[in-house]
Chain A
Amino acid sequence: MNQSTPLSNEAIEPADWSAELQELEQRRQWSKGLGGQEAIARHHANNRKTIRERLEGVLDAGSFNEVGSLTGKSDRADGRVNQFSPAPYVCGLGEIWGRPVSIGGEDFTVKGGISWSGDRKKGGQGGFVEDLAHDYRIPLINLIDGAGGSVTSMLRRGYSVFPGVHGFEQSVRLLGEVPVVCAVMGTAAGGPAGRAILSHWSVMIKDTSQVFAAGPPVVARSLGQTITKEELGGSDVAVDLAGTIDNVAENEQECWEMIRRFLSYMPQNVWELPPVGDQSDPPSRREEALATIIPKNRRHPYKMHNLIGMIVDKDSTFEIAPRFGKSVITSLARMHGHVVGIIANNPMVYGGAMDAKSARKQTHFVELCDTFHIPIVFFVDVPGFMIGKEAEAAATLREGMKSVYVGLQASVPMYTVVVRKCYGMAGMGATDKNGLDFKIAWPSAEWGSLPVEGGVSAAFKREIAAAPDPKKREQEIEKQFRESASPFLTAEAFGVEEIIDPRETRAYLCRFIEASIYKRKTALGPKPKFGVRP
């Protein structure tokens, strides 16, 4: 006898779920309507795109898969939904350059993108969007357009929440695991502003976005200062002066291009190497202008950006924080397709001396490269740390030593190319002391614990003062020192590993960077952090 019970004809009749499916579709439509046409029109009038337009703008076409599209609050009567207000946060899985990313952002058209949580948070601080990036080991993109919590939530709850109830623990964890990009799209204060800083790279929009710990009303109440939000946290302050945010985009379109460009240099996570790009620019390319770019007159600067451009793959640079700490240039680039991090002193700004701002910038960039296994190339022309009253008051020494400390902990391969001056502790910070300590120099290079000029006047103070013509005596002693400062003499002692014709730099570096891949493969995974930063 057959043990199974045959299904009755009634049971195999197609079931009718059409009402429920219709409701699902209806709810999706409400969600796509965001905060309603009026709110969207106001948002557009302020030269801002909606969160859904932004997702379309930055992601590969048609690649967005939403998660949490039904979140929000419905107004029901007689078992029917009359009105629906979507949650002010949209997130999901998308693709950039064909690789998956976790992405989310506040919807400003719903209650100004106020911080939201149902049973689970979608994003903003922690939430599904960060869990997805962490669990799947894929990059995270935050499109920030909210001012965080509101005091009104206290009335709704009936109690006050402790700071960090939706904390930054996952945001911090991500910084050692996957690339994190934060774009400040509107006015960010409080939690969302703090979230923007917990990133590998951040960007904001000129004139339409601002970022601060607290906005003008709070500042007026607490300090009596009357100030506009642009004066308080526009890009002139947040990017140029403070370096709170790394880069500024002219408009949202440029912002999308920058985000896509930044991610093109990044691996998906720290367990893999960065992708190898276009290899059509031959490593053997020799730029004649490199032979003459360094002026013979030591007082004359030159354009370091041009020098970099001639050595790396054509049009392959992406400069991080170009408007802050300008005495050092930090740029992602490629050499024969391999991603590299360029750290170059800029002689046009303080003769390339490292000040507190450029030290801060270098510290972050070294960590970024080390975390994602990107070899670092230093183009060194540094007279030392910045000096003077302002520099001391800005803690140049501490910020400078922090950058030296981080450089000494990094384990990614580094190449030191001394193009002119390499002096003092800042010079030491441009070497790979934790690895091969591979120092390559151009014939124009010079180095020492301090530049001859200052050193001679300090060490021979009495002798110079006692001479009949002190100025002449100082110059005589300086000349004597300069003669023994030839880089060739250091090369004889193998104190510098090689001196090359500047035109050979590209070929030379490409060779070693490609060979370093075996070392980098053995160092995949999170980089350990230990000790106390000075």
Chain B
Amino acid sequence: MAVEQLKSDVTGSVWKIVASIGDDIAPGDSIMIIESMKMEIPVICEEGGRLVALHVKEGDSVAEGQNIAEIEI
């Protein structure tokens, strides 16, 4: 089992977290939605896996490249 860091592609703020720790995330599903440039940008887990950690909460600011969640593959 490998744990992979999920990074934000954008600077913005966490608008909504749509998955919970322990959830099995299907490939292509999103974990949270970040608001940036007036868009609701989903953070997508391309390969899928189990969500084991969240480093941010709703309302937090995030920077481009910041680790925001951990996925166990």
Binding site for B on A (CB under 8 A): 241, 299-301, 326, 347-351, 353, 383, 386-388, 390, 453
User: Which residues on A sit within 8 Å (CB–CB) of B9?
Assistant: 326, 348-349
Binding site for A on B (CB under 8 A): 9-11, 36-42, 44, 65
User: Which residues on B sit within 8 Å (CB–CB) of A353?
Assistant: 37
- B40–A350 CB distance below 8 A: no
Smallest Cβ distance from B16 to chain A, in angstroms?
12
Task: Name the contact of A301 in the complex, choosing from B11, B39, B65 (C-beta under 8 A).
Answer: B39
- B38–A350 CB distance below 8 A: no
Task: Report which residue of B9, B37, B38, B42 has the largest number of chain A beta carbons within 10 angstroms of its beta carbon.
Answer: B37
Give CA–CA (A299, B40) in the complex, Å.
6
Task: Name the contact of B36 in the complex, choosing from A241, A300, A351 (C-beta under 8 A).
Answer: A351
- A453–B38 CB distance below 8 A: yes
Give CA–CA (A243, B40) in the complex, Å.
26
- B37–A351 CB distance below 8 A: yes
Known: A383-B37, A390-B11. 7 other contacts (CB 8 A): A241-B65, A300-B40, A326-B9, A348-B42, A348-B44, A350-B37, A351-B39
User: Which residues on A sit within 8 Å (CB–CB) of B37?
Assistant: 350-351, 353, 383, 386-387
Smallest Cβ distance from B20 to chain A, in angstroms?
23
Which residue on A lies nearest to B7, using beta carbons?
A240
- A301–B42 CB distance below 8 A: yes
Give CA–CA (A326, B10) in the complex, Å.
10
Give CA–CA (A301, B9) in the complex, Å.
14
Smallest Cβ distance from A475 to chain B, in angstroms?
15
Smallest Cβ distance from A357 to chain B, in angstroms?
10
Give CA–CA (A300, B38) in the complex, Å.
9
User: Which residues on A sit within 8 Å (CB–CB) of B44?
Assistant: 348
- B38–A351 CB distance below 8 A: yes
- A349–B11 CB distance below 8 A: no
Which residue on A lies nearest to B28, using beta carbons?
A303
User: Which residues on B sit within 8 Å (CB–CB) of A386?
Assistant: 37
A-B contact pairs, 21 of them (CB 8 A): A241-B65, A299-B39, A300-B40, A301-B39, A301-B42, A347-B39, A348-B9, A348-B42, A348-B44, A349-B9, A349-B10, A349-B41, A350-B10, A351-B41, A353-B37, A383-B37, A386-B37, A387-B37, A388-B11, A390-B11, A453-B38
User: Which residues on A sit within 8 Å (CB–CB) of B65?
Assistant: 241
Smallest Cβ distance from A223 to chain B, in angstroms?
23
Smallest Cβ distance from A31 to chain B, in angstroms?
43
